[in-house]
Structure 1
Amino acid sequence: MTHEADDVNEAIEGELRLLDPAVRSSRDEALRLFDPEFVEVGASGRHYTYEETVAGLPDQPGSSADGPRYEPSAFTGVLLAPGLVHLTYETVFDGRRARRSSLWRRRDAETGWRMYYHQGTPVPPGAD
């Protein structure tokens, strides 16, 4: 496996961890996976900061072990530059599809890969 493939796979592993209810409900786990400069543009167009995301994640959908879970598929990833991976994939959550894009950044080996940017776009019913 190439170094590029290793980096992409590590970013995918981080993304999958952030979809896990046990990780989503744990502030400590979330802190390990979000870059301190993280931002998100939500489906509503609202901008979310690192602080808002980490504080609110346990209350967001998909954070309860007994509730609906995100079902991810169709991951693709590209190493854009050393320490920067772009992922795209789809999720189904409670019957609703979304296309997702995220940037993962690795500043050093100690902190590892962390999500730097995320955007999710709802897919209307019947759209390809």
Structure 2
Amino acid sequence: MSEARASDAVNEAIAGELALLDPAVRASRSEAVRLLDPEFVEIGASGRRPSRAPSSPPAWRMFYHQGTPVPPDIE
């Protein structure tokens, strides 16, 4: 993969992760399913793991995520 294509992929992943911080996106099951990788598993505060139906593959895959909010002035 060329450096430009890799950079585009990283920027697309970052945009997708930032979208997942938007309460409107998180409230929309269809948007969350569209953005999250089918292998993504979220563990709630209760320790339960909600399930979801299989869907089409997302446009991007998460590279790394630790749940750290990004300040609004960072693009």
Q: TM-score range by the shorter chain?
A: 0.5 to 0.7
- Divergent runs of 4+, >4 A: 46-50
- The higher relative CO (CA closer than 8 Å, separation ≥ 6) is in 2
The Cα shift of 1:38 comes to: 0.7
- For the 8 Å contact 1:10–1:113, the answer to whether it is kept is yes
* RMSD, aligned α-carbons: 3.3
Higher normalized strand content (fraction of residues): 1
Aligned to 1:113: 60
Given the superposition, is the C-alpha separation of residues 113 and 49 from structure 1 closer, same or farther in structure 2, using an over 3 Å criterion?
farther
- Scaled by the length of structure 2, the TM-score of the pair is 0.59
Aligned to 2:18: 16
The Cα shift of 1:50 comes to: 6.1
Which of 1 and 2 has greater Rg?
1
Higher normalized helix content (fraction of residues): 2
Identity between Structure 1 and Structure 2 (%):
60
- For the 8 Å contact 1:39–1:48, the answer to whether it is kept is no
Given the superposition, is the C-alpha separation of residues 116 and 34 from structure 1 closer, same or farther in structure 2, using an over 3 Å criterion?
farther
Q: What count of residue pairs does the alignment treat as equivalent?
A: 62
Specify every segment of 5 or more residues in structure 2 that has no aligned partner in the other structure, as ranges.
Answer: 69-75
Q: Where in structure 2 are the equivalents of 1:38-117 lying within 5 Å?
A: 38-40=40-42, 49=49, 51=51, 111-115=58-62
Name the aligned partner's letter for residue 60 of structure 2. Answer: W
Specify every segment of 5 or more residues in structure 1 that has no aligned partner in the other structure, as ranges.
Answer: 55-109, 122-128
Aligned to 1:26: 28
Aligned to 2:5: 3
What is the CA–CA distance in structure 2 between the aligned matches of 1:27 and 1:6, rounded to whole Å?
Answer: 26
Name the aligned partner's letter for residue 16 of structure 1. Answer: L
The Cα shift of 1:4 comes to: 1.1
What is the CA–CA distance in structure 2 between the aligned matches of 1:39 and 1:117, rounded to whole Å?
Answer: 14
